[in-house]
Chain A
Amino acid sequence: MHIPSWIKRNEFLKKNIKMQYEAIAIGVSSGGLNALKIILFSLPAGFAIPIIIVQHVSARSEGYWIELLNEKSNILIKEADEKEKIENGIAYVAAPNYHLMIEKDKTFSLTIEERVNYARPSIDVLFESAAICYKNKLIGIILTGANSDGSKGIKQIQEYGGLTIVQDPEKAESSLMPESAISAIKPDHILPLEEIASLLINLDKKNNN
């Protein structure tokens, strides 16, 4: 059943609680839709940490898949708008054909500069700006994919003290992107999708205490 977005977000989410983790950045490429479904559909209503996702898509993608995800999810999933303020309880997805960056005031910036790792949006571009913005209050996650975008970015997240999670390459639909991330850093966690979801739920619970 479709849940209207205003019901999905509880009032308490808006309060400024001091959180250990203030954002989750996810980078995913081929096989991404299935992987995102498993993680996002596991998250309960009231899951507070905002999620920012780069999924590689074609430049001409119309973004219907975001609406499809949103319909079945307990949290609000939407495209990240230019200058939009990042709020708790929402999962934001990068628009096709634009890079997505985060400013220090926790708003989104879009750019159309050259492709990075053949991709626009590029995971590295999001992760690097997210690391600078959230430092050790960021969780960075690399999921399935058939290229090496995101490896530089997740390294930067680790250097800034953020928590790093990589999907277990053996369980990933395309193992190259997780493998590439693992060769760039020693991640804090290497897990299958279901366990990544449980870990996020636990971290979110601890966050609110």
Chain B
Amino acid sequence: MQQKLHGKQSSPYTAPIVKEINMESTKVHDQEMLSLLESIYKKYGYDFRQYSEAHVNRRIKNRMMLSGMKNISEVEFKILHDQSFAGQLLQDLSITVTEMFRDPGFYSSLRENVIPILKTYPFIKIWHAGCSTGQEAYSLAIILKEEGLYDRTTIYATDFNQQALDQAKDGIFSNDLIKEYTINYQLSGGKESLSNYYTSDYDHVIMNQSLKKNIVWANHNLVIDSVFAEVHIILCRNVLIYFERNLQNKVQQLFFDSLVSGGILCLGSKEGLRFTDFFNAYTELDKKERIFKKKY
């Protein structure tokens, strides 16, 4: 199932309504870089102006080098006139590195500390924000299945990167990766054999249809899109690390507004709420694994 949660950005190449540029949030970028990021936003609707500068710098300079370009203005020109280059740069700026059961300790804590809470709900809605190529969404589906909760769950798995989302929906992963995923799965307290959840050929595995049934794959951009559902859990791991503090706060507001009272927020193993305005809005369910519970 593929659906669009918000109309603002149906294709990577439609121009959005250009909002007034917020100078305060953009001052850390060099003038040249800022001009490039503004062009990307105006033409394609993707707003990287409040992304971590070191990250954006590194990714764009890498692309510049690979394409033999000399300066940022050359990149800007090409962005405006060459859509395939723009698509490429978009992929560069969107980090799709992920694994099934990434950080096994997190997934075992999820089983131990979060599943018992979920069992008290008649139906469960989960928002997996920034799902990239889907590995963690499938991991979640597997745990819910093993805990007997999958049939009453809807997982909204969202990302702004349509290419990654399409891959996620296919659920086809390279065989080379499965070995690592299997170790992760076992370390996370998996109850079966991971191979029960996929079919393999020589090079690839394809995830079982039964895991996909209750996953809604949707294009949603945390930077510009808004609340679309009230959910019991939000999983957003290793996405906020790329955002500046202002943007982190804005997205945390979005999460806060989307979660039910007592809802669960799961962040990446090095992410936290300490440097945001929401530190006091949650209690720590598992400090080490960065699992938080929204206060009543």
Contacts of B274 in A (CB 8 A): 81
Q: Is the CB of B54 within 8 A of A83?
A: no
- The stretch from A36-44, A101-109, A182-190 touching chain B is A101-109
Q: Is the CB of A103 within 8 A of B54?
A: yes
Greatest chain A CB density within 10 A among B53, B248, B272 is at: B53
State which of A82, A128, A132 has its C-beta within 8 Å of the C-beta of B272.
Answer: A82
Q: Is the CB of A104 within 8 A of B241?
A: no
Q: Hey, what's the 0/1 contact readout for A169-201 against B, CB within 8 Å counting as 1?
A: 000000000000000000000000000000000
Q: Hey, what's the 0/1 contact readout for A121-145 against B, CB within 8 Å counting as 1?
A: 0000100110011000000000000
Find the A residue at minimum CB distance from B29: A104
Q: Is the CB of B270 within 8 A of A110?
A: yes
Known: A104-B53, A110-B241, A113-B97. A81 touches B58 (CB 8 A): no
State which of B28, B53, B57, B97 has its C-beta within 8 Å of the C-beta of A112.
Answer: B97
**When chains A and B are docked, how far (Å) is the Cα of A69 from the Cα of B105?**
24
State which of A105, A112, A128 has its C-beta within 8 Å of the C-beta of B58.
Answer: A128
**When chains A and B are docked, how far (Å) is the Cα of A112 from the Cα of B237?**
11
Q: Is the CB of B55 within 8 A of A104?
A: no
Q: Is the CB of A103 within 8 A of B52?
A: yes
Contacts of A105 in B (CB 8 A): 28
State which of A81, A102, A125 has its C-beta within 8 Å of the C-beta of B270.
Answer: A81
For the complex, is A54 an interface residue (Cβ under 8 Å from B)?
no
For the complex, is A208 an interface residue (Cβ under 8 Å from B)?
no
Contacts of B52 in A (CB 8 A): 101, 103, 109, 111
**When chains A and B are docked, how far (Å) is the Cα of A82 from the Cα of B241?**
7
**When chains A and B are docked, how far (Å) is the Cα of A16 from the Cα of B53?**
24
Q: Shortest Cβ distance from B237 into chain A, in angstroms?
A: 9
Q: Is the CB of A125 within 8 A of B275?
A: no
Contacts of A114 in B (CB 8 A): 97
Q: Is the CB of A82 within 8 A of B271?
A: yes
Q: Is the CB of B95 within 8 A of A101?
A: no
Contacts of A113 in B (CB 8 A): 59, 95, 97
Q: Shortest Cβ distance from B94 into chain A, in angstroms?
A: 10
Q: Shortest Cβ distance from B54 into chain A, in angstroms?
A: 4
**When chains A and B are docked, how far (Å) is the Cα of A82 from the Cα of B59?**
19
For the complex, is A160 an interface residue (Cβ under 8 Å from B)?
no
Known: A82-B272, A109-B55, A112-B97. A103 touches B28 (CB 8 A): yes
Contacts of B270 in A (CB 8 A): 81-82, 95, 98, 110
Contacts of B248 in A (CB 8 A): 83
For the complex, is B252 an interface residue (Cβ under 8 Å from A)?
no
**When chains A and B are docked, how far (Å) is the Cα of A83 from the Cα of B275?**
7
Find the A residue at minimum CB distance from B184: A60
Q: Shortest Cβ distance from B133 into chain A, in angstroms?
A: 13
**When chains A and B are docked, how far (Å) is the Cα of A133 from the Cα of B28?**
12
State which of A81, A112, A129 has its C-beta within 8 Å of the C-beta of B238.
Answer: A112
Q: Is the CB of A103 within 8 A of B53?
A: yes
For the complex, is B245 an interface residue (Cβ under 8 Å from A)?
yes
Find the A residue at minimum CB distance from B52: A109
State which of B54, B268, B272 has its C-beta within 8 Å of the C-beta of A129.
Answer: B54
What would 18 A/B residue contacts be, using CB atoms closer than 8 Å? Answer: A81-B270, A81-B272, A82-B241, A82-B270, A82-B271, A82-B272, A83-B275, A95-B270, A103-B28, A103-B52, A103-B53, A103-B54, A110-B270, A111-B55, A111-B241, A112-B97, A112-B241, A112-B268
In the complex, the 8 A-B pairs of residues with the closest C-beta atoms, listed nearest first:
A101-B54, A109-B52, A83-B275, A129-B54, A110-B241, A113-B95, A112-B97, A112-B238
